[in-house]
Amino acid sequence: MDKALVPKVKLNNGMEMPTLGLGVLRMEDGPEVEEAVGWALEAGYRLIDTARVYNNEKGVGRAIRASGIPREEIFLTTKVWNEDQGYEKTQAAFDASCERLGLDYVDLYLIHWPGGVSSLNRETWRSMESIYSKGRAKAIGVSNFHAVHLNALMEATEIVPMVNQIELHPHLQQRELRAFCKKHGIQVEAWRPLMKGKVGEIPLLTTLAAELEKTPAQIALRWMIQHDVVTIPKSQNKGRIIENLNVFDFELTDMQMAAIDALDCGERLGPDPDTFRMDFS
């Protein structure tokens, strides 16, 4: 596809973020993640999402440098993990991530989990505000935050998060949280958008895929994009990496969108942020 056709969304600080990217959760550092990121960048991806806890930042950084693509054209996300929360710890964690990546800055830095309504979240966020003010992270945000977590954070800090990365897919649509984020100018980003491949088992998606000569995965990704959600499907398969990007040459009708909307059943495939607790030891 024409790489220029991949759209971007504008964050609340004016920065532009690609609508679709590659997630690298559970990819091994070294050749595995380097190949996947390399294939993605070659295909036209410009958003790569990693995290300290994925233990593959070194490989991601090597792949970015080896691609030959100018750094400013790539939107790179990483995250601060549980035991690294707190003002000073976050500063050190960010420095360590940049060192592993071999890069001077990241485009988006996220708090990985809220760990309840915690004053530690606020300390972490103030540290991230400092990182942002120095230009070392071009944008800052959160991951897995519900409205209660966001409210607690925003009441005590200066900068509204630019992104909230959450589990989101046809069976877990999080409409109320999406509406809350839209109201406050927070861009929603979906992790696990393909439900670990289970989108291929949903009859409606397979029917629509056959009608539109697409795959169920492409239908699910297109549905999210039309709901103004950034999405980061994971794949280590070159063909599927390319396939997942080819979702900008068709549109779902209002009726098709509504049919997928009706699939929501609140099914989580990952932890619930309201009950997930982190070990800060």
Phi and psi angles of residue 25, each rounded to the nearest 5 degrees, phi first = -55, 135
Cβ-proximal residues to 131 (8 Å cutoff; 6+ apart), any chain = 90, 91, 94, 109, 137, 140
User: How large a percentage of the chain has pLDDT more than 90?
Assistant: 91
Q: Which amino acid is at 106?
A: V
What pLDDT does 275 receive?
Answer: 85
Does 246 score more than 60 pLDDT?
yes
What pLDDT does 172 receive?
Answer: 98
What pLDDT does 52 receive?
Answer: 97
Other beta carbons within 10 Å of 30: 12
Per the model's pLDDT, the better-predicted residue between 192 and 1 turns out to be 192
Beta bridge partners of 271: none
Over 71-123, what HEC string results? HHHCEEEEEECHHHCCHHHHHHHHHHHHHHHCCCCECEEEECCCCCCCHHHHH
CA distance readout (Å), 34 to 31, 147, 238, 239, 265: 5, 36, 12, 16, 36
Does 147 score more than 70 pLDDT?
yes
Phi and psi angles of residue 7, each rounded to the nearest 5 degrees, phi first = -75, 165
Does 243 score more than 90 pLDDT?
yes
DSSP string, 213-242: TS-HHHHHHHHHHHTT-EE--B---HHHHH
Q: Which amino acid is at 105?
A: Y
Mean pLDDT estimate for the chain:
95
37 contacts 59 by C-beta, under 8 angstroms: yes
Report d(CA 57, CA 27) in Å as an integer: 10
Q: Which amino acid is at 180?
A: F
Q: How would residue 278 be classed by pLDDT, with cut points 50, 70 and 90?
A: low
User: How large a percentage of the chain has pLDDT more than 70?
Assistant: 96
Question: Does domain 3-197+224-249 bear CATH number 3.20.20.100?
Answer: yes
Instruction: Read off the pLDDT of each residue in 120-149 and give the average, rounded to a whole number.
Output: 96
Q: Residue 245 is encoded by which pair of tokens?
A: 């990007």
Cβ-proximal residues to 59 (8 Å cutoff; 6+ apart), any chain = 27, 28, 29, 30, 31, 32, 33, 34, 37
The domain spans of the chain are: 3-197+224-249
Other beta carbons within 10 Å of 237: 11
pTM: 0.96
Q: Which amino acid is at 73?
A: E
What pLDDT does 1 receive?
Answer: 47
Strand-strand pairing, 8-10 and 16-18: antiparallel
Q: Is 87 one of the annotated active-site residues of the chain?
A: no
Reported as a single tens digit per residue, the pLDDT across 200-225 is 999 999 999 999 999 999 999 999 99
Reported as a single tens digit per residue, the pLDDT across 109-123 is 999 999 766 788 999
Q: How would residue 281 be classed by pLDDT, with cut points 50, 70 and 90?
A: very low
Reported as a single tens digit per residue, the pLDDT across 227-241 is 999 999 999 999 999
Q: What three-state secondary structure class fits 16?
A: strand
Alpha helices in 144-226 (DSSP H): 147-156, 175-183, 203-212, 216-226
Reported as a single tens digit per residue, the pLDDT across 6-59 is 899 999 999 999 999 999 999 999 999 999 999 999 999 999 999 999 999 999
Catalytic-labelled residue, pool 54, 87, 105, 109: 54
149 contacts 177 by C-beta, under 8 angstroms: no
